[in-house]
Amino acid sequence: MKVQVHTTLKEGVLDPQGKAVEAALNNLGFSGINRIRQGKLFDIDLDTDSKEEAEKLTIEICKVLLANMVIEDYSVKVIQDN
Amino acid sequence: MKVQVHTTLKEGVLDPQGKAVEAALNNLGFSGINRIRQGKLFDIDLDTDSKEEAEKLTIEICKVLLANMVIEDYSVKVIQDN
């Protein structure tokens, strides 16, 4: 079962990487960009064939390792295999 | 208009971050995880109200700055604003 996790900084948390990208695009002459926030993406391949089990395991992994719950939100999307 | 960009390493490109996460989860006692690949996520807020324009601008931004086209793939998803 394939699962995709997004971790993003919570609203209000400073995002220096996003700001750097904004500044770089500005310097490159791009306009019309209001805001960029950068997050992380994890493509996970799990052994299980159960959607519920995959979701449960992934949420646990997020809480323990992938997301810093103090400053980050996470979202889990199970992508059916086949 | 809100746009979401995913950049992921191409198949075959070594992903040390993903491997580190796999090893860490293994050390933490998790099992049943076949593979983890790590990528980047960009949430972009654009001025334009045109879906086509948003997509075109974002693809240009990806090619110029966000994705390293030699080793990375990118995908663009326009998220309609209301």
Tell which CATH architecture fits domain B2-79: 2-Layer Sandwich (3.30)
Q: What are phi and psi of B32, to 5 degrees?
A: 85, 15
Q: Assess B19–A contact: CB distance below 8 Å, yes or no.
A: no
Q: Assess A65–B contact: CB distance below 8 Å, yes or no.
A: yes
Look at the block and give the residue holding tokens 């990487």: A17
Percent with pLDDT over 70 in chain A: 98
Q: Which residue on chain A is closest to B46 by alpha carbon? A: A33
DSSP 8-state assignment for residue A63: I
Instruction: Give the ipTM.
Output: 0.93
pLDDT in tens, B20-64: 999 999 999 999 999 999 999 999 999 999 999 999 999 999 999
Token digits for B50? 């045109």
Closest-CA residue to A64 (of B39, B25, B38): B25
